[in-house]
Amino acid sequence: MKRIIITASFVAVAALYAAPSAMSAEETLGNVDRGRVIYQFGKGDDVPACQGCHAPDGLGDDNVGTPRLAYQIDTYVLKQLADFAAGSRVDDTMYQMNDISKALTEQDMKDVASYVHTLKTPYIGSNLDQLRRDGAEVGDPEKGMMIVEYGAADHGVPACQSCHGFNGRSAGRMYPAVGGQNYVYLQHELTSFRNGAEAYGSSTLTADQMASKEDNQRVNDFMGQMRAVAKNLTDEDIKNVAAFLTLAKPTTPGNPRSPSRQ
Ligand code: HEC
Ligand code: HEC
């Protein structure tokens, strides 16, 4: 009898942990093997290998401003590829992602999103000392941690972890992992969201506005959620949160569970 009760409550707890994810551990959005082939070899004449820019292990590269894709939430990756294809997000770093995404079918996007989610590359983050040596202005991780955990109430910035989870490890679905992301990319995206907020607030753009918007304005966030945050970030805040987040690990020693589904 006792054993049955223990088992039942274990199942209930396991279900709670699984709750943020819409899918069971075995289910994936697409076909991981097909996704791997696209990631490693590209597809036809129009899709170069993703790993050429995002690295074989999915770590990305600060030298060219590419993001880490390894273990990113598959539904978020799929949305970004669809947004690049539709033009609602513009790659103004290397000007390649829009054409690449247009050449992918919806199935390709699902497959490659599923593949990158399987990459268990450790959360290494950027080498901040190297970036400093290269002349980048690097923020203060301690100050960034305060904003990620508590926000900056004096100038209207909410705690990042309220949407992105502990250490920015993602809250699943539409909330990407931002912990362990690359410094240069984080700084670029936060600035782009702020540019988008300055021009359009948090509103959804009309087709005309979308056609005339500047490339350095990121406006593809659902309901303007991220623009509402970024509009109050100072340049200093952006460097500080980027410095903290790039080094942030998804787990704590006391909590070995990695983001969502594990
Ligand atoms: C020529 C280099 C290049 C290649 C090849 C490339 N990417 Fe990218 N990718 C980039 C850059 C640069 C960005 C950042 C764009 C920006 O925000 O300005 C990016 C951004 C992304 C993002 C957004 C990530 C996020 O966190 O929002 C996804 C997803 C992505 N790429 C997937 C892919 C996939 C899948 C492939 C292969 C089919 C691919 N990329 C091939 C350069 C590349
Ligand atoms: C109200 C919820 C919310 C809060 C609070 C929030 N974010 Fe976000 N953030 C989002 C959503 C939703 C997206 C995904 C937008 C999209 O679909 O493209 C996002 C995207 C991002 C991205 C782009 C990730 C990528 O891979 O391109 C970064 C970087 C980011 N947030 C950093 C932060 C930081 C730093 C803070 C705290 C100062 C913060 N966010 C607070 C909701 C939030």
pLDDT tens-digit series, residues 226-259: 999 999 999 999 999 999 999 999 886 555 454 4
Q: Is 82 in the pocket of ligand 2 (CB under 6 A)?
A: no
Pocket test for ligand 1, best of 29, 36, 41, 53 (most atoms within 8 A of CB): 53
Task: Kindly report the protein residue whose alpha carbon is nearest to atom 29 of ligand 1.
Answer: 77
Q: Name the residue with the closest Cα to ligand 2, atom 8.
A: 226
C-alpha 42 to ligand 2 mean position (Å): 29
Q: pLDDT class for 4, splitting at 50, 70, 90?
A: very low
Q: Whose C-alpha lies nearest to ligand 1, atom 10?
A: 66
* Closest CA to ligand 1's atom 43: 53
**Taking Cα atoms as reference points, which of 135, 127, 143 lies closest to residue 180?**
127
67 alpha carbon to ligand 1 midpoint, in Å?
A: 7
Measured CA to CA, the distance from residue 175 to residue 190 in angstroms comes to 15
Give the end-to-end CA distance of the chain in Å, rounded to a whole number.
29
pLDDT band at residue 22 under the 50/70/90 scheme: very low
Alpha carbon distance 123, 12 (integer Å): 30
Please report the atom of ligand 1 found closest to the CA of residue 181: 26
Q: What's the confidence (pLDDT) of residue 261?
A: 36
Band of pLDDT at residue 20, cut at 50, 70 and 90: very low
Cα–Cα distance between 241 and 186 in angstroms, integer? 9
Per the model's pLDDT, the better-predicted residue between 17 and 216 turns out to be 216
Please check the confidence at residue 7 and state whether its pLDDT lies above 50: no
The yes-or-no verdict on residue 17 having pLDDT over 60 is no
CB 246 within 8 A of CB 186: yes
pLDDT tens track for 89-146: 999 999 999 999 999 999 999 999 999 999 999 999 999 999 999 999 999 999 999 9
Ligand minimally distant from the alpha carbon of residue 174: 2
What share of the chain has pLDDT > 70, as a percent? Answer: 86
Q: Please determine, for residue 171, whether its predicted confidence score (pLDDT) is greater than 60.
A: yes
Tell which one of 39, 45, 46, 66 to mutate to probe ligand 1, the residue whose CB is within 8 A of the most ligand atoms: 66
Q: pLDDT at position 134, please? A: 94
Dist. CA 217–CA 49, nearest whole Å: 27
pLDDT tens readout for residues 28-62: 899 999 999 999 999 999 999 999 999 999 999 99
